[in-house]
Amino acid sequence: MAKIRVIVAGFKGRMGKTTCETILAHNKTFELVGGYDPHGATDKDLGTQIEVSAAQHLPAFTEIEETVTAKPDVWVDFTTPDAVYGNTKFCLQHQIMPVIGTTGLTNDQITELQALAKKQQVGGLIVPNFALSAVLMMKFAQEAAQYFPDVEIIELHHDHKKDAPSGTALRTAELIAQNRRPKRQGAPDEKETLPGVRGGDYQGMRIHSVRLPGLIAHQQVQFGSVGEGLTIRQDSYDRASFMTGVVLAIEKVHELNDLKVGLENVL
């Protein structure tokens, strides 16, 4: 069986580098064929830029059009919110299966990309969170929402994260909304004396974003009812926690014939 050829976009970032190392470690099934970063060095190979000797002599592309020369099967994207839409569209147009770990795509953009994937008959995954514990957290929260409609989401990430709320928090809210009885929480005459202190409003439920150094990725979904409460919490203490999901997505994405949202689609 031929190895799955993988290119990593955003290889200079912490998630990108960890992904490169993981693909190299799974060299019986995967082949790392290069990396893409428009801000990379044009005169240095991939291994030199991420300081991984096993990736020496592999190409590090700065022009997206050049990535097709590596003939990748799968494109793993850990770039930036302003770049991910264009990257994903490029993949679908060139029959490269995207595995998108970058958050920031709007619902309209996702709908457009899904239509393109269907037209091109290319499978792909948009993954808000690769940690299996996070997938379970979202699933459990979705189930609980039909019994506890009063809920708030608190997500905590490192202080270099550019988007708020996180993709995981938004995806959790979307899943909860599917089972939750519509209602607006809090006192009817509630007033914020400090604007924004109650967090973002998603269909009547609140989302709070915390950004602090020392954190990686954490989320707490807190339900309340008369005389009782339920808290579902997930913690990622190391970026290695995401790699099980990354490996699974790369292995399984070829089984899809459209663009799906959520790792649960290949579990």
Tokens representing 260 are 């799906």
Question: Quick check: helix, strand or coil at residue 105?
Answer: coil
**Cβ atoms of 97 and 73 closer than 8 Å:** yes
| Active-site residue (options: 17, 157, 208, 218) | 157
| Active-site residue (options: 139, 158, 161, 252) | 161
Name which of 35, 122, 48 is nearest 76 in CA terms. Answer: 35
Pairing type for strands 97-100 and 151-157 reads unpaired
Element of type H or E holding 205: strand 205-211
Name which of 185, 211, 183, 207 is nearest 196 in CA terms. Answer: 207
The answer to whether residue 3 is catalytic is: no
Measured CA to CA, the distance from residue 123 to residue 7 in angstroms comes to 16
The answer to whether residue 157 is catalytic is: yes
Instruction: Check residue 92 and give left, alpha or beta (phi > 0: left; psi -120 to 50: alpha).
Output: alpha
- β-pair partners for 256: none
Total count of residues recorded for the chain: 267
**Cβ atoms of 220 and 137 closer than 8 Å:** no
Tokens representing 184 are 């607006």
Q: Which residues are catalytic?
A: 157, 161
